[in-house]
Amino acid sequence: MKESAAILACGIHVPRLRLSRARIAAETAWLSAPARPTPPGERAIGNWDEDALTMAVGAAREALAGRSATPPATLAFCTTTAPFADRDDAGLVAATLALPETTATQNNGGSLRAGTRALIGACAAAGKEATLVIASDQRLARIGSTQEFAYGDAAAALLVGKAGESAPLATVLATHARGSDFVDHYRMAGARFDYALEERWVRDESFLKIVPRTIGELLTAVAVNPADVRHLAAPLGAGLARRIAQVSGLANASVDERLQRACGDAGTAMPLLEILAALARAAPGEMLVAIGLGQGVDALLLRAEAGAPRAAAALERALERRREETSYLRYLSHRGLVEVDFGMRAERDQRTAHTVAYRKRAAVSAFVGGRCERCGTVQFPLARVCVNPQCRATDTQQPHRLADSTGRVKTFTEDWQAFAPRPPYVYGNVEFAEGGNLLMEFTDVESGELAVGDPVRFEFRIKDEDRARGFRRYFWKATRV
């Protein structure tokens, strides 16, 4: 196969919050027979203001860091838990990244293979253009279900472009796909939860039959000896992955031990995360097979390149950034799985004036303020008249993006009166590194943690939700560095 595609950059967003499986087991012990074995480790859970879209933005920003001069031509957002059924979520992600409005945006879902499917598509197009493939999922699970233990929230982004360009993480040697209406689990449109079929059947008939066959076809096509493959990237636990490797003849392939334990199964994001985990293990030149599962199999053969350690660094960063969720009930509340009385302030009408939202889209989505050409003052929002009392010039402001800036806490409060899904509601004045001030919300901080002077960076998060009309709003929040 012509080596035309490469993974040029990567990004990972794992929410900071982690819920230990032992805690889930303790809270749901009454549901099951005594001495049910508890799966080890913890699962990543989004804060109340994270969803598949915000996590995708987090991963995408990391993948595109330092590449604003060469934006990808296509952005593919892959998820089975898109916030909107009919709104260009990928377009919103592109807007948060300040990508040109001419960027081709794709929304891919319908199967957990959505991420790898888009990846294969991006490889096919790589000779012509670069694609940012982002896979992200935040799947709900019934209280006490196997899925509740197994699932995790996360996003991964891979920038796919032409091989031979600057220090890629990996080169794509071959891709292959085989469809099969094997219903190991499903979720009807509009349903909240998955329905999962018997694990033993899935193992025997899919993992140990369809998957090895597809891997075999992949390797045969490029005449690669299975024994030369050093790593297998599978969106499964280490035990199952090992069985697949064994049955597929990948006798020398290592498998990932870590992601299921530290993050959980992140749906469409999982195959991409496993690719990065495999690259993190791989020495340059080593080959790996990656698979995506969901009514069939996607398979890719990759070769780790000199940039592979960047995957390891991204993975370390994402997994190190963690905070234990100490309340199972609060996690359920964040996912809307229990009804909590947030008081009458939560009844406030959050209707959006969409004319304004459109007019101000650069400010709200891309966090673009203004910079006065006359005096250099940075300000948010961009205004007709400069806010600098010594300047006040009219129509002198150029767009100035603040999303990738940093700031420091000038003032703050922990508000216990305001409505907040995760009280207290923490907000205050942030001074940007380049000047300018904004009263804004802080996220991922707990009571007692914040102090005046703390350095912050910015993340795109859910701002609030209009329950009456079913519309979710997003904006940028400050979080401690």
| Sites of contact with another protein (CB under 8 A) | 343-345, 347-350, 352-353, 356-357, 360, 363-364, 377, 379-381, 383, 387-389, 410-419, 424-425, 427-429, 431-432, 435-441, 447, 451-453, 463-464, 473, 475-476
The minimum distance between CB 332 and another protein, in angstroms, equals 23
Q: Which residue lies nearer to another protein by CB, 71 or 424?
A: 424
The minimum distance between CB 388 and another protein, in angstroms, equals 6
- Rounded to whole angstroms, how far apart are CA atoms 353 and 472? 13
How many Å separate Cα 311 from the centre of its chain?
15
- Rounded to whole angstroms, how far apart are CA atoms 412 and 96? 26
Q: Which residue lies nearer to another protein by CB, 1 or 356?
A: 356
The minimum distance between CB 344 and another protein, in angstroms, equals 4
Beta strands in 257-310 (DSSP E): 287-293, 296-304
Q: What tokens were used for 188?
A: 């009807």
Q: Are 478 and 449 in contact (CB under 8 A)?
A: no
Q: Residue 223 is which amino acid?
A: A
Q: Are 83 and 107 in contact (CB under 8 A)?
A: no
The minimum distance between CB 267 and another protein, in angstroms, equals 30
Give the position of tokens 């009514």.
295
Which residues pair with residue 427 across a beta bridge?
Answer: 413, 441
Q: Which residue lies nearer to another protein by CB, 160 or 445?
A: 445
Handedness of CA 16, 22, 23, 29 (dihedral sign): positive
The minimum distance between CB 445 and another protein, in angstroms, equals 12
The minimum distance between CB 232 and another protein, in angstroms, equals 46
* Local structure of 354: helix, strand or coil: helix
Q: What tokens were used for 49?
A: 């203001």
Q: Which residue lies nearer to another protein by CB, 36 or 473?
A: 473
Q: Which residue lies nearer to another protein by CB, 223 or 353?
A: 353
Torsions phi, psi of 16, nearest 5? -65, -35
Q: What's the residue count for the chain?
A: 481
Q: Which residue lies nearer to another protein by CB, 58 or 428?
A: 428
Torsions phi, psi of 304, nearest 5? -65, 140
The minimum distance between CB 251 and another protein, in angstroms, equals 56
Instruction: Please enumerate in sequence order all residues whose Cβ is within 8 A of that of 255, keeping only pairs 6 or more positions apart, or say none.
Output: 231, 232, 234, 238, 241, 242, 245
Q: What tokens were used for 439?
A: 């009263």
Q: Which residue lies nearer to another protein by CB, 142 or 467?
A: 467
Torsions phi, psi of 288, nearest 5? -140, 150
Q: Which residue lies nearer to another protein by CB, 404 or 434?
A: 434
The minimum distance between CB 159 and another protein, in angstroms, equals 29
